[in-house]
Amino acid sequence: QSALTQPASVSGSPGQSITISCTGTSSDVGSYNLVSWYQQHPGKAPKLMIYEVSKRPSGVSNRFSGSKSGNTASLTISGLQAEDEADYHCCSYAGSGTYVFGSGTKVTVL
């Protein structure tokens, strides 16, 4: 069970859209629609932003959206804002009751 692959960093200017990829295998991301995304500000606990690939919890801005194609899931942040600067982590069900996280991506707002 290896960590899902995410880019180490992604950056964008305010108002732009960015996309973070999360690449797994046919044993995790590719087999289940159980991918979630978490936002984490420095020194804080992670916050659930997307679950089941593309669903948003109540209270999460609709600027955040998720999708999946094959073994790769993606998180898109549209209308980038300064407050979006944080680390983002994907997570997928990997079968047999287990889960695996991604390597994490640092988003910088230029």
Binding residues (CB under 8 A) for other proteins: these are 1, 3, 36, 38, 45-48, 50-52, 55, 57, 89, 91, 96-104
Pick 16 or 53: Cβ nearer other proteins: 53
Residue position matching structure tokens 């999708």: 67
Closest approach, Cβ 99 to other proteins, in A, equals 4
Query: Of the two residues 1 and 69, which places its CB atom closer to other proteins in the complex?
Result: 1
Q: How far is the CB of 86 from other proteins (least distance, A)?
A: 13
How many Cα atoms are found within 13 Å in the side-chain-facing hemisphere of 36?
14
Burial of 101 (0-12, 13-18, 19+ CB in 10 A): middle
- Nearest approach, Cβ of residue 89 and other proteins (Å): 5
Q: By C-beta, is 13 or 42 nearer to other proteins?
A: 42
**Per-position DSSP letters for 45-73, written without gaps between them:** --EEEEBTTTB--TTS-TTEEEEEETTEE
